[in-house]
């Protein structure tokens, strides 16, 4: 399907409201499937009116009868190619604001996303089963990850992002059901984090298999951020923790190059890798993190993480050579 160069230009789109207002069981407010050559441009606003859905979220109200595990996304691209999204303002999605799935050659530029910090699962942009996706010059405030990258994602470029509130920029979570995953060539450059619960993060389940390979985080700025740099191969929902298993997603060739700012948690760099499948070829280069005002000192923590250091690394690196 070929679409005219500009489909939308300045204006607004407003969702019906909470679940009682939706007459059909739609999975997305706006969805494009099998579309090629689409540009969304102009300074319009898309309002997901998500509060009615958040108030019935199972994540926040697990004992509520009739709560909703799944809620609509606002803007979805499925099996699409050559997509350009510029100068769009989105607010208050019921769940994920923008979903990119099974798509190729998708570029976002100057996108603004704004939802409250406590809005459940309102990721700004989620990318999965897609390749050649880029996000430039965007401001994302969300109740979950500002940008999240799922399985089978390749050649993702993220440049000049302002994130916060939110959960940071994350790869994962991967391998939840024991599947074999593959994520390669993810580059995040010039990202700024403001009061987020994480900075840059890779998270995998112990039961997963496969690889996350060739990841670069470069020129990062953290402002009062919890967990500025974190790799977690023991991601789980058990409050007592999860045991180390003989399988894990292999995390290899990850570079953290150029990071400054303040950590709101004592462990500013936390690499919790698997004993069975350690993290390898990790590199810290020119890291200068300081404690936020609420802390006296910060440190790094490494379990089964191997790699090298270049230039100044503060707090002191814990990588094993």
Residues annotated catalytic, as ranges: 167
Taking CA atoms, 49 is separated from 2, 11, 13, 83, in Å, by 31, 16, 10, 25
Please tell me the distance from the alpha carbon of residue 115 to that of residue 161, in angstroms, as a whole number: 16
Residue 203 pairs in a beta bridge with 232
Largest pairwise CA distance in the chain:
59
Residue 46 pairs in a beta bridge with 13, 90
Contact assessment for residue 43 and residue 10, using Cβ atoms and an 8 Å cutoff? yes
Closest CA to 40 of 90, 1, 79: 90
Q: Show the tokens assigned to 190.
A: 């010039």
Please tell me the distance from the alpha carbon of residue 206 to that of residue 177, in angstroms, as a whole number: 10
**Residue 53: which H helix or E strand, with range?**
helix 51-54
Contact assessment for residue 140 and residue 113, using Cβ atoms and an 8 Å cutoff? yes
């Amino acid at each position: 399907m070929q679409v005219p160069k500009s489909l939308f230009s300045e204006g607004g789109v407003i969702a019906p409201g909470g679940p009682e207002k939706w007459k059909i069981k739609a999975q997305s407010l706006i969805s494009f499937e099998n579309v090629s050559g689409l540009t969304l441009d102009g300074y319009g606003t898309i309002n997901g009116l998500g509060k009615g859905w958040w108030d019935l979220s199972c994540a926040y109200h697990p004992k509520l009868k009739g709560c909703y595990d799944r809620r609509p996304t606002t803007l979805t691209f499925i099996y699409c190619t050559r997509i350009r999204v510029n100068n769009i303002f989105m607010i208050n999605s019921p769940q994920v604001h923008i979903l990119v799935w099974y798509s190729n050659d998708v570029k976002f530029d100057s996108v603004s996303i704004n939802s409250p910090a406590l809005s459940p699962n309102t990721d700004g942009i989620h990318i999965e089963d897609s390749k050649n996706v880029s996000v430039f010059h965007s401001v994302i405030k969300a109740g979950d990850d500002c940008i999240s990258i799922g399985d089978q994602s390749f050649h993702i470029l993220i440049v000049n992002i302002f994130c916060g509130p939110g959960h940071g920029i994350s790869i994962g979570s991967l391998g939840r059901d024991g599947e074999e995953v593959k994520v390669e060539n993810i580059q995040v450059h010039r990202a700024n984090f403001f009061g987020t619960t994480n900075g840059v993060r890779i998270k995998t389940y112990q039961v997963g298999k496969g690889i996350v390979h060739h990841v670069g985080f470069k020129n990062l700025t953290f402002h009062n951020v919890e967990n500025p740099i974190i790799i977690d191969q023991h991601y789980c929902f058990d409050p007592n923790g999860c045991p180390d298993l003989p399988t894990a997603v292999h995390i290899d060739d990850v570079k953290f190059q150029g990071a400054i700012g303040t950590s709101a948690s004592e462990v500013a760099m936390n690499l919790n890798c698997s004993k069975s499948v350690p993290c390898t070829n990790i590199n810290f280069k020119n890291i200068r993190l300081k404690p936020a005002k609420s802390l006296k000192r910060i440190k790094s923590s490494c379990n089964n993480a191997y790699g090298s250091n270049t230039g100044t690394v503060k707090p002191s690196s814990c990588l094993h050579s």
